[in-house]
A and B are shown apart, each in its own frame.
Chain A
Amino acid sequence: MKPKAIFVDFMANIRMWYRSKGTVFWAIAFPVLLMLIFGAIYQGQDDITVNLYVQDMDGTETSEEFISSLGERLNIQRIPQDEDFHDYVSDNNIRAALVVTQGFEETVWRASAGENASIPLTLSLDPTRESVNGIIRGVVMGTMEGWNKDITGGWDVLEYNEESITAEEFKFIDFFMPGVIGITVMTSSIYGTIFRNTKYRKWGILRKLSTTPFTRWEYLISKMLFMTFISFVSTFLIILVGVLVWDIGVSINAYLFVIVTSAAFAFSGMGMLISRFVNEEETADSAAGAVTFPQMFLAGTFFPLEVMPGYLQSFARVLPLYYVNEGLRDAMIYENWSSAMINTSVIFIIAAVLFVIGAVVTRWTE
C-alpha cells in the first residue's frame, strides 16, 4: 500500500470536486437550502396561523367560551348565524369550518348536573389539505376532550363529527396532481432554457445564428413554442396517469390551457433572465436549482401554505409557481371559476412581464 499515492489521489478528488460548482451545490448548498427551507417551515409551527371558520348557532356565553378556547391555537373567523352554512362555505372558498350546534350551553349544563346528555359538533374539512387538517382536527378534538373531562370527568358530552367540505370526495392526490404539473412545467422550462442558452453560447451556436438572417425574436418564439409543446405533453401525461391510475376527476377547460401556456412563458422568461448572468455551463445547474427548489417547496406544491409561518406565506405569494398551482387546482379539480380566473390572470401577467424581460436581456451578440 502506498499512503502517499492514496493521499495524492484523495487531494486531487477534493480539488476537482470544489472546482465543479454544480457538484458543490448539490453536496453542500442544496442540503443547506433544504434545511433552511424546511426549518423555516416547521420552526414556527407553534405560531402557525391556521384559519378555522366557526358558526355559533347557540350564541351563548358557554359556546363563546368554547370558541375562545379553540382560538388559543387557531385563528377563528366567524360565520354569521343567519347565513346558510354550506352556501357560505362554498361562496367564500372556506377549507375548514365548525358549527357549534344550537343547545350547546344547555347540554353542557345538563351534563354537569349529572344528566346523560350529549351534543354533536361537526367539523367540515377540505380532504385535499390533509396536513392542515391534522392540525385543525387535533386542536378541535383536544379542546373537546378537555371540556368533556372538565364537565363529566371523561364522558363524551361533546361528540366529534367530521364531514367533507365539498360535495365531491377529494383525496390528497387531487391536491397534489396540479402541483406536479406546476413543478414539471417549471423545471423543464427553467432548466431547459438555462441549459440551452449556456450550452449554445459556449458552443458558438448563438454566435453562428447571429450571422444568419434568422433573428433573435424568431429564435425566441420558436423556443417558446417548443417549451409550450413540451409543457403540454407533460401535462397530458400527468393527467393521463392521474385519471387512469388514481381515478382523479379532472376538468379540462380553457383555464388549463392558458395557465400551462403562461407557466411555460413565465418560467422560460425566468430561465432567460438567469442564463444572461450564468456564463458557465457548469454553474447553470446550480443557478437553476437555486430558483426552482425554493419555489417547489414554498409555493404549495406538496403541502398547503397554511402549514407555513406567516412571512413564508407572504413570500409564497410572490412566487409564480404558487399562482400556477392554485390556478390549476381551481380550474382542474375544484372547478372554482372565480378563483381560477384570478389566478390565471395573475400568472398571465407574470408570464408577460418575465418573458419580455427575458427576451430583452437575451443576447446573441455583444
Chain B
Amino acid sequence: MDPIIQIKDLTKRYGDLAAVDGITIDIKKGEIFAFLGPNGAGKTTTVEICEGIRKPTSGTVHIFGDGFTPRSSDIRERIGVLPQEYRSFERLTVRETLKYFQSFYKRSRDIDQIIKLMELEDKKNELYMTLSGGLKQRVGVAMALVNDPDLIFLDEPTTGLDPRARRGVWRAIKSLKGEGKTIFLTTHYMEEAEYLADRVAIINHGRIITEGSPDQLVARFGDGYTVTLHGCDVQRVASFVPDPDVYSGNTIRFKIEDPNTISSILSKISEVGLTFENMEVRRANLEEVFLNLTGETLEGDGAA
C-alpha cells in the first residue's frame, strides 16, 4: 500500500529537551495507525507537526506524496483533525457546529450522514455544553469528517472518558475504517490501540521503540499467556507448573508460551488428585510489551 504520510528523521527540540527525537515512519493508505505511549512521549508533538500546527526542528513530513508538506493549503482540504483535549463552542448545537466547520471547505459530506455515522441523531439540536464527555468527543470526531477527508488525525480521542463512552467513540472510529479512511491515532490506552489499530508504533521519550500489528508486537515482545489457579494447594500444584509464582495462600500464577500446553498441565494436576476452584487465562497485551521494552508502564512510571 502507498504511504499517505512519510515521516523522516523528524526531530523537535525545546531547548535541551528533544520532544521528538529522530522519528522515521510511513503511514499507509487505508490503515488505522496508532501511536501508543505514555503522556509526554512525543505523540502529540509528532501529530501536530503532521497537522501543520508545529514546525519541526529538523526532518521532513510529506503528506499525500512528495509534493505536499503539512502547511500546504491543499493539505487542509483533505485532512480532518481532532486536537488533543478539544472543547468546541459551548453555545452552538451539534448540527450548527458541524455546519460551521463545514463552511470552510470546498469538499463536503452530508451533515446528516455524519450525524448518523457518529450516532448523534438524538443530540443534533442540543447545545454542545449540555453534552456528556463521550458525546463531546464524538462531536469532535464528527467535526473531523465534515470535509470528507482522506486522512484523519485523532489525538487521544478517548482520554478522560469512562469505559462506556470510550467504546462509543471506538465504534465511531471503527466505522470510519470501514469507509476506507486513513486514521492516525494517538493514545496511551493499550486497549484502544489493540482494539482499533492495524499497526501500532510504541513511542517513548520521543523515539519509536518498535512498530507492527498488535498481534505481532504481543507475539514478539509479550510474555505469552498468564494462567492463574484459585483455591488450590499451592505447594503441591507448584511442582507441576513452570516458574510458579505463588502470590496468596491458595492462588498460584504461571506463564506459558503455547495455550495448548494448559490441558497437559491440568491433566497432570488432576491425575494426582489435586483440585482448584477456578482458573483464569490471560493473553499478554501491549501494556506488557511496553513494560518489557522500556521497564516503565504506560501510566508513566518514570516516563517523561
Contacts and interface: CB of A to CB of B under 8 A. Distances in A.
Q: A and B: partners?
A: yes
Interface of A: 203-205, 207-208, 210-214, 364-366
Contacts of B52: 210-211, 365
B111 to A, nearest CB: 16
Given A211-B81, A213-B104, A213-B105, A204 B87 contact: yes
5 A-B pairs with least C-beta separation:
A203-B87, A204-B83, A204-B86, A211-B81, A214-B104
Contacts of B89: 205
Contact of A208 (B54, B81, B147): B81
A365 B54 contact: yes
Contacts of A364: 53
Given A212-B104, A212-B105, 19 more contacts: A203-B86, A204-B85, A205-B86, A205-B88, A205-B89, A207-B81, A207-B83, A207-B86, A208-B81, A208-B82, A208-B143, A210-B52, A211-B79, A211-B83, A212-B76, A214-B104, A365-B53, A365-B54, A366-B53
Contacts of A208: 81-83, 86, 101, 143
A208 B104 CA distance: 12
A207 B104 contact: no
A213 B72 CA distance: 10
Given A203-B86, A204-B84, A211 B54 contact: no
A73 to B, nearest CB: 57
B278 interface: no
Interface string B52-87: 111100000000000000000100110101111111
Question: Quick one: which of B83, B104, B106 has the most chain A CB within 10 A?
Answer: B83
A57 B188 CA distance: 90
20 contacts: A203-B86, A203-B88, A204-B83, A204-B85, A205-B87, A207-B48, A207-B81, A208-B81, A208-B82, A208-B86, A208-B143, A211-B53, A211-B83, A212-B76, A212-B101, A212-B104, A212-B105, A213-B73, A213-B106, A366-B54
A366 B13 CA distance: 13
Nearest to A210: B53
Contacts of B48: 207
Question: Quick one: which of A203, A213, A214 has the most chain B CB within 10 A?
Answer: A213
Question: Quick one: which of B79, B81, B84, B85 has the most chain A CB within 10 A?
Answer: B81
Contacts, number: 53
A364 B54 CA distance: 10
A214 B101 CA distance: 9
Contacts of A212: 76, 101, 104-105, 147
The SS class assigned to the A binding surface is: loop
Contact of B53 (A203, A207, A213, A214): A207
B51 interface: yes
Contacts of B51: 211
Contacts of B54: 365-366
Contacts of B88: 203, 205
A208 B154 CA distance: 11
Contacts of A210: 52-53
Contacts of A214: 104
Contacts of B87: 203-205
A280 to B, nearest CB: 15
A121 B52 CA distance: 76
A210 B86 CA distance: 13
A109 B58 CA distance: 95
A366 B57 CA distance: 12
Interface in B71-130: 73, 76-77, 79, 81-89, 101, 104-106
Nearest to A211: B81
B209 to A, nearest CB: 26
A246 B89 CA distance: 39
A39 to B, nearest CB: 41
Contacts of A204: 83-87
A203 B84 CA distance: 9
B76 A213 contact: yes
Nearest to B89: A205
B73 to A, nearest CB: 6
A214 B104 CA distance: 6
A197 to B, nearest CB: 14
A210 B77 CA distance: 12
